[in-house]
Amino acid sequence: MANTYGEAIKQIKQKNIPEVILLYGTENYFIQKIKDLLEKDIHEENIAIYDLLETSIQEVVADAETYPFFGEHKLVIATNANFLTAKSDKLPFEHQVEYLEKYLEMPVDYSTLVLIVPYEKLDERKKVTKALKKKALVAECNPVKEYELAEWIMNLARQLVIQVEKDAIEVIERELSTDLNIIENELEKLALYVGERGTVTKEIAEELISHTVNSSGLRLVDAVIDGDLAKAIRIYKDLEKMKEEPIALIALLAFQFRTIFRVKLLKQKGYSQAQMQKQLGVHPYVIKVAQSREGKFTVNRLQFIMDQLAETDAMMKQGRMEKDIAFELLLYHLVQKKEDVRLG
């Protein structure tokens, strides 16, 4: 069984670093954090980085076996170890994996060999994969699940010696989704603002967090649901500053409302959240948000909104009205029809 990212970090921080480490998964944030930690105490001249799409594994193993010239330890990092997956890369050379298998039997103690596989899964059937799982530190570096994100945010907050209120965590999740690099950067900014042992409130998070285009689309939908025209136009002006075109914003709103519409219809058919996610092929968080909103609309109301979006899109593309005026008028129509909204 593979270690989690957290378990691997803990082991490395305790200086319990094995001779061979295997990192696999699609979350580059985790992989980069482990690499940074491993490189921290190694002399720059003793760090070698290879791309296994360009260099054979036998050459990498030979380097790991070569005694370091500077300092006492050597770090050899080999990216794209795709021969450990079911995927087959067409390369101008052959990876002779038996060299790696032999090395695993008796790795040298003056080198740490790190293999990185940027794929969600390893091919467990391969002999070399089985050998690595027995002899190496294997860490899974896949994206955090939606239900794990709040705990991950709280752990990072503890490291920064701050507290984040539950409502503020929800703002971070809504605005930044699961992009861990951005979340870390934004939390560090919040920590500087509130100071050590300070508390991040919902108001502070909403004021300071850099809004993404997608999250601003969600906020636009919220403003429409709340019947708040002033807020909707304010968000639109923010998006204008981000150089977002009104036509692109209509597409963004159409995606949000289309998802709400489809989730409502699937709910009426008795679909679970997991079944909806599979049917629609979108992130679970998108389904969760749509589920929290669909009850505020009737089917007819959602059809009206989709029609308004399509009509405004056509109006812009045909040049029948200035884009910014057309978009603000669209927001006015969507908000002014708020009285037609019924729960159900």
pLDDT in tens, 303-320: 999 999 999 999 999 999
AA identity, residue 243: K
Mean pLDDT of 218-240: 84
Structural domain that includes position 266: 213-340
Domain co-membership, 79 together with 181? no
pLDDT in tens, 53-110: 999 999 999 999 999 987 789 999 999 999 999 987 889 999 999 999 999 999 999 9
The model's confidence at residue 115, banded by pLDDT at 50, 70 and 90, is very high
**Structurally, how many domains does the chain consist of?**
3
What type of residue is 39?
E
Report percent pLDDT > 90 for the chain. Answer: 53
Q: What is the pLDDT of residue 182?
A: 83
Q: Among 208, 235, 260, which residue terminates a domain?
A: 208
Domain boundary among 92, 125, 140: 140
105 & 121 share domain: yes
Same domain? For 47 and 100 the reply is: yes
Max CA pair span of the chain: 76
Instruction: Decide if 332 contacts 229 (C-beta within 8 A).
Output: yes
Mean pLDDT (the chain) is 88
Contact in structure between 136 and 18 (CB atoms under 8 Å):
yes
Residue with tokens 């939908």: 221
pLDDT digits (tens, 9 = 90+) for 8-32: 998 999 989 999 999 999 999 999 9
Same domain, 332 and 237: yes
* Phi and psi, residue 301, nearest 5°: -65, -40
Using left for φ > 0, alpha for ψ between -120 and 50, and beta otherwise, residue 260 falls in alpha
Mean pLDDT, residues 217-240 taken together: 83
